[in-house]
Amino acid sequence: MWWQQYKKELMGNRTELLFLLGFFLVWTLFLLSRAGVWEPAVVIALYGAPPSGILPLWALWASVQLYRQEWRENTSYLMLSLPVRARVITSAKLAALLTGVLGFALLFAVGGWLLLARTGLWGEVFQRHVFSLIPWEYAVKMSLLTGGAVLAALVIVALVAQFAYVFSRLFSRLQGLVMVWTWVLSFWLMARVVDVGGRLLAFMPDFHLRLLTIHNQVPEFEMVTVESGPLWALALFVAGLYTLLNAVLERAVEV
Amino acid sequence: MATVVFDRVTKRFGRVRALNDLSVTIPSGTILGLLGPNGAGKSTMLKLIAGLYRPDGGRVTIDGDVPSPKTKAKVAYLPEIDYLYGWMTVRQILDYVRAFYPDWDQVRAEELLRFMALDPAARVSRLSKGMRARLKIVVAMSRSAPLILLDEPLSGIDPPSRSRVLSAIVSEFREDGQTVVMSTHDVAESENLFQEVLFLREGQVALMGDADQLRAQRGKSIRDLFEEVYA
């Protein structure tokens, strides 16, 4: 059941996803053709600009669109009459969104590597200078951690957007206004929960992170302590919001 | 078998009461005609049973349970509007719906597809209105669901397709295990289909009973009764 729902979400939004990936592919190919013509720094800066601007906006738009189109095209009649718990639908929609983000990230990584190689920056910076001092194992670990954090942030943004839209469906008027206010209040509440929850959960064991710094061409590791309380509070808030989204979709919202 | 009970159910849309303190029991193992003019509350009743609307007052139960994923597994619902994904093909629609219902009967689905003269490879958005209505019937009637809800299944369909739709409903109905509730304001064509009829007026029961008994007692057809009730 979940797989069918996930497949439906992917197939139903493939046009937008392929358009986004296609646009970025064309942009990458264009910049590859400019390598050696333009300054390497300009090429790399232009390459990084669209993902940092477009990807979060697309994720936000797609999050709402995954639900909005169900009501706009009256397929909410089918979606809400399915004999499944709401979590099957909500998780499939989130997973489809993440698939799009991961596809984009993969394209970005491959394109970035090609550009760095083509502009010669890979050899200049990554091999001769500071980056050659970073152990591969550490680089992979930090890349995964950074990627995971970006992904988690996108999931939170997507979840809040989806909750705001579904919650706005409970109102017959001013749905747009309700959605915007729900969005704003959810983030305000999240900040409060992280603040207060972080203090209440201060007894939780801290996280330790090995950070690499380079002084005079010599790599040095230092241990950084990260309080886990705020992170646990954030995780609890996200779990609570997801539960609420499912409850609203299953018990309150109408076609 | 599925018994549906409306216990003092009220459903409002703004200031309008679509259902007004409605209490009625829909018996199991019958084809019930839900009759009334536009705005009588027919679609609202069906959506409440399907779990697509929530009552503002009172309670709707299916075999004692309020609408939930559990009751939705017992209900095959056909809304009046187009509710199937336009980008899917007929085959993809059937495969998608089948995945959610253990009572899906693939043999019956294939038979209905042929009977309704639908091309499995055709995209839903490219089907004519009549074809889309026939596809909705295939989706609803391919299940051995205890409760089948049909909201104006003949609406906007050309005459040849109408007879196909009615034939499919009659041929697939199983009296021992199914209840069919069909709303319509076009009584003439479907009157012979109904075993029971429920006339709704302004969200309340205007008349309800066994179709044959009502005909015998009043000496009128259901169509004439319809005109009498809503005169």
Share of chain A above pLDDT 70, in %: 97
User: When comparing pLDDT for A190 and A216, which is higher?
Assistant: A190
Chain A environment of B150 (Cβ under 8 Å): none
pLDDT band at A97 (very low <50, low <70, confident <90, very high): very high
* Chain A residue whose CA is closest to B53: A254
Cα(A227)–Cα(B173) distance, integer angstroms: 64
Residues of chain B with pLDDT under 50: none
Q: What is the largest CA-CA distance in chain A?
A: 65
- Cβ distance of B72 and A81 shorter than 8 Å: yes
**How many other CB atoms are there within 10 angstroms of residue A146's CB atom?**
10
Provide the pLDDT for residue B197: 96
Q: Interface of chain B against chain A, CB under 8 Å?
A: 13-14, 47, 50-54, 68-70, 72-73, 75, 77, 79, 81-88, 95-97, 99-101
Provide the pLDDT for residue A129: 63
pLDDT band at A236 (very low <50, low <70, confident <90, very high): very high
* Chain A residue whose CA is closest to B82: A74
The separation between CA A232 and the C-alpha centre of its own chain, rounded to angstroms, equals: 19
Give Cα separations from A141 to A146, A226, B21 (angstroms). Answer: 9, 17, 64
* Chain A residue whose CA is closest to B12: A172
Burial of A216 (0-12, 13-18, 19+ CB in 10 A): exposed
- Residue among B193, B189, B222, B191 at smallest CA distance from B207: B222
- Cβ distance of B79 and A77 shorter than 8 Å: yes
Give Cα separations from B104 to A57, A77, B173 (angstroms). Answer: 41, 19, 15
Nearest to B47 among A11, A12, A255 (CB): A255
pLDDT digits (tens, 9 = 90+) for A103-145: 988 999 999 988 888 887 777 766 666 677 788 888 889 989 9
- Cβ distance of A254 and B52 shorter than 8 Å: yes
Residue of B54, B81, B85 to mutate, testing the A interface (most A Cβ within 10 Å of its Cβ): B85
pLDDT band at A234 (very low <50, low <70, confident <90, very high): very high
* Chain B residue whose CA is closest to A15: B87
- Residue A214 and residue A249 in contact, taking contact as beta carbons nearer than 8 Å: no
- Cβ distance of B53 and A254 shorter than 8 Å: yes
User: When comparing pLDDT for A58 and B204, which is higher?
Assistant: B204
Provide the pLDDT for residue A242: 98
- Torsional class of B63: left (φ above 0), alpha (ψ -120 to 50), beta (otherwise): left
Residue of A16, A78, A169 to mutate, testing the B interface (most B Cβ within 10 Å of its Cβ): A78
pLDDT over 80 (residue A251)? yes
Provide the pLDDT for residue B164: 78
Three state DSSP letters for A38-78: ECHHHHHHHHHHHHHHHHHHHHHHHHHHHHHHHHHCCCHHH
- Cβ distance of A11 and B84 shorter than 8 Å: no
Provide the pLDDT for residue A130: 67
pLDDT digits (tens, 9 = 90+) for B25-84: 999 999 999 999 999 999 999 999 999 999 999 999 999 999 999 999 999 999 999 999
- Cβ distance of A77 and B52 shorter than 8 Å: yes
Chain A environment of B102 (Cβ under 8 Å): none
Q: Which residues contact B86 (CB under 8 A, 6 or more apart)?
A: A73, B123, B124, B125
- Cβ distance of A4 and B69 shorter than 8 Å: no
Q: At what angle do helices B129-141 and B159-172 cross, to 10 degrees?
A: 0
Here the ipTM equals 0.95
Q: What is the mean pLDDT of residues A59-67?
A: 94
- Residue among B163, B85, B11 at smallest CA distance from A8: B85
Chain A environment of B84 (Cβ under 8 Å): 75, 78
All structural domains of chain B: 4-81+146-229 (3.40.50.300)
Q: What is the mean pLDDT of residues A163-184?
A: 97
Chain B environment of A78 (Cβ under 8 Å): 83-85, 97
Provide the pLDDT for residue A125: 67
Three state DSSP letters for chain B: CCCEEEEEEEEEECCEEEEEEEEEEECCCCEEEEECCCCCCHHHHHHHHHCCCCCCEEEEEECCECCCHHHHCCEEEECCCCCCCCCCEHHHHHHHHHCCCCCECHHHHHHHHHHCCCCCCCEHHHCCHHHHHHHHHHHHHCECCCEEEEECCCCCCCHHHHHHHHHHHHHHCCCCCCEEEEEECCHHHHHHHCCEEEEEECCEEEEEEEHHHHHHHHCCCHHHHHHHHCC
Provide the pLDDT for residue A127: 64
Per-chain mean pLDDT for chain A: 91
For chains A and B, what is the number of CB pairs under 8 angstroms? Answer: 65
* Chain A residue whose CA is closest to B99: A1
Q: Residues B114, B117, B119, B124: is their CA dihedral positive or negative?
A: negative
